């Protein structure tokens, strides 16, 4: 059977469409050029009419009559004069053309002298890295043309580079981390210190895009975030890093900001968290912010190894099982958490075998928040007792199924004391405060795509959930409300989120024996108090 030829509209229709679009575009441009004076006069008449309406609306009512009489008299005089209407029309058209002119300031065709010197200096600095003697036509040469290498560029109000796209030769080893790090360090130094830069490498196109990032907001305090159960806001990041925003109140106004949301639960791939930083970096504030959020839907057990009383505001609150600051209490609380995880697993397995839904006492999330547990491990080693971290193996391994989540905050000097289960099962990672590239890579698994600034505010760092992308992070301000250095606005913000008290928060007397303690334990029939000695 012979194949019928395609209609001409299908065979060469695309060419006709393209030619038609070009003709329409050229016709529109020609019409715009021809009608430009008419467009300018029309715009001017509209502006004059708007100005007249505003002037008339601003005139008091008792003066509108004399003003109207004066305008009518002027119109009559002009109408009676020889060539008066023609001169009035010409004057009106001239005024309309003047007011309707394009007032947009003309941009310079290229960079000014200072910007050109900055680009030339940056180009000369890149020559040793992007050129080899064997290249017959090098793109980067001393005294060469920087316009061929810099595809696009932009400057901020201070005259520093805010965006730059560099075209580099194909033989540059852009696949090696060391080569990239040298280029990024050079661009960071030459473009201006004190700012953060994002580097986007296009290996296929042999282009590098450098963008100066604005600082993250630091005025967002702890508050009720619009999240679903199982979602925890770690902080806030750049708009291009995530695909959602949250409404928050900051500085007395409401705005939408992009969050870094950590999802926990049965279907989570990163069920546990590890936060690392230096002194004063904000890791304790991060745990406090997490506790204030998860207390809406779950129970919290807090182990504070530093012994500074940073979580005293949570003592005796509804949903807070215990706040342990010493070794004995930490061992008792974590041992109960391990048994509770096993109990939940057994109860849920029996319910599944019987074809029933899991018991209600296994569905409420349980959170274990540990601040600097390695300090308690050192005390346990000195006293010949068990390391509290060893009791985390069961919650870490089976916590996702049992609804138990572990969040650990530690400083850089205590990273070596963390046991292997903590390192292996905490796939959600956060690094706060100043840190070197090696430290960031050791914790997050990769180098950051931006250059951290040396002076970082509290709660500022990076976050990475599993094998996902790395985000800049600013933790919401959730300081200790009992600290005298806390501002009144932040104190009230934290106190408004605290649950009601269910038990007195008075500390134990100093002479009380440490062997007799009470630990909250949960059985299949509810919560009970068990004495341990």
| Annotated binding residues for ATP | 277-284
Q: How far apart are CA 119 and CA 163, in angstroms?
A: 12
Cα angle 39, 40, 42 (rounded to 5 degrees) comes to 65
Which 8-state DSSP code applies to residue 129? Answer: T
Bridge partners (DSSP) of residue 262 are 232
Bridge partners (DSSP) of residue 257 are 246
Annotated binding site: 277-284
Bridge partners (DSSP) of residue 431 are 276, 462
What is the separation, in whole angstroms, between the first and last Cα of the chain?
96
DSSP H or E run through 493: helix 488-497
Asked whether 172 and 130 are in contact (CB, 8 A), the reply is yes
Q: How far apart are CA 407 and CA 370, in angstroms?
A: 6
Which 8-state DSSP code applies to residue 157? Answer: T
CA nearest to 312, candidates 513, 487, 515, 494 = 494
Residue 246, helix vs strand vs coil: strand
Q: How far apart are CA 383 and CA 375, in angstroms?
A: 13
Contact partners, residue 218, CB within 8 Å, separation at least 6: 457, 459, 460, 474, 477
Which 8-state DSSP code applies to residue 214? Answer: P
Give CA separation, 95 vs 44, 45, 46, in Å: 7, 8, 12
Length of the chain: 533
Q: How far apart are CA 23 and CA 281, in angstroms?
A: 62
How many angstroms from the chain centroid is the CA of residue 59?
Answer: 51
Q: Is 500 exposed, middle or buried (CB count within 10 Å of its CB: 0-12, 13-18, 19+)?
A: exposed
Phi, psi of 154 (to 5 degrees): -155, 150
CA nearest to 93, candidates 34, 41, 53 = 41
Asked whether 273 and 430 are in contact (CB, 8 A), the reply is yes
In 237-292, which ranges are E strands?
246-250, 253-257, 259-263, 273-277
333, two tokens: 């609380």
Asked whether 132 and 147 are in contact (CB, 8 A), the reply is no
């Amino acid at each position: 059977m012979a194949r019928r030829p395609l209609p001409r509209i299908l065979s060469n229709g695309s060419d006709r469409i393209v030619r038609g679009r070009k003709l329409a575009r050229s016709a529109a441009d020609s019409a715009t050029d021809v009608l430009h004076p008419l467009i300018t006069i029309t715009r001017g008449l509209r502006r004059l009419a708007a100005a007249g309406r505003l002037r008339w609306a601003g005139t008091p009512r008792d003066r509108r009559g004399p003003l109207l009489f004066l305008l009518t008299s002027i119109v009559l005089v002009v109408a009676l004069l020889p060539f008066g209407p023609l001169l009035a029309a010409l004057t009106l058209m001239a005024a309309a053309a003047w007011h309707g002119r394009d007032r947009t300031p003309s941009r310079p065709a290229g960079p000014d002298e200072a910007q050109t010197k900055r680009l030339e200096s940056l180009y000369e600095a890149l020559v040793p890295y992007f050129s080899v003697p064997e290249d017959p036509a090098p793109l980067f040469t001393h005294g060469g043309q920087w316009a061929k290498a810099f595809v696009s560029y932009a400057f901020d109000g201070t005259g520093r580079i805010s965006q730059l796209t560099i075209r580099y030769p194909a033989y540059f080893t852009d696949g090696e981390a060391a080569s990239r790090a040298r280029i990024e360090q050079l661009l960071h130094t030459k473009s201006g210190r004190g700012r953060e830069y994002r580097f986007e490498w296009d290996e296929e196109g042999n282009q590098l895009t450098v963008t100066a990032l604005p600082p993250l907001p630091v005025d967002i305090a702890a508050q009720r975030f619009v999240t679903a159960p199982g979602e925890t806001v770690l902080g806030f990041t750049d708009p291009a890093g995530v695909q959602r925003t949250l409404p928050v109140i900051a500085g007395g106004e409401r705005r939408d900001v992009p969050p870094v949301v950590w999802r926990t639960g049965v279907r989570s791939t990163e069920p546990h968290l590890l936060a690392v930083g230096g002194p004063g970096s904000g890791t304790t504030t991060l745990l406090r912010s997490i506790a204030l959020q998860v207390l809406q839907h779950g129970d919290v057990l807090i182990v504070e190894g530093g012994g500074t009383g940073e979580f005293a505001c949570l003592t005796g609150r509804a949903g807070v099982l215990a706040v342990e600051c010493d070794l004995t209490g930490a061992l008792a609380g974590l041992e109960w958490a391990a048994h509770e995880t096993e109990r939940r697993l057994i109860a849920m397995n029996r319910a599944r075998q019987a074809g029933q839904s899991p018991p209600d006492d296994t569905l409420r999330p349980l959170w274990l928040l540990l601040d600097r547990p390695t300090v308690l491990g050192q005390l346990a080693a000195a006293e010949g007792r068990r390391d509290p971290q060893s009791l985390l193996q069961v919650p870490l391994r089976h916590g996702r199924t049992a609804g138990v989540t572990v969040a650990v905050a530690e400083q850089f000097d205590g990273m070596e004391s963390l046991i292997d289960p903590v390192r292996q099962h905490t796939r959600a990672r956060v690094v706060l405060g100043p840190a070197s590239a090696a430290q960031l890579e050791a914790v997050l698994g990769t180098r950051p795509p931006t250059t951290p600034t040396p002076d970082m505010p509290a709660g500022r760092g990076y976050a990475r959930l599993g094998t996902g992308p790395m985000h800049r992070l600013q933790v919401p301000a959730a300081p200790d409300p009992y600290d005298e250095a806390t501002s009144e606005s932040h104190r009230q913000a934290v106190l408004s989120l605290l649950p009601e008290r269910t038990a007195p928060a008075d500390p134990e007397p100093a002479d009380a024996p440490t062997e007799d303690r009470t630990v909250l334990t949960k059985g299949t029939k509810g919560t009970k108090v068990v004495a341990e000695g």
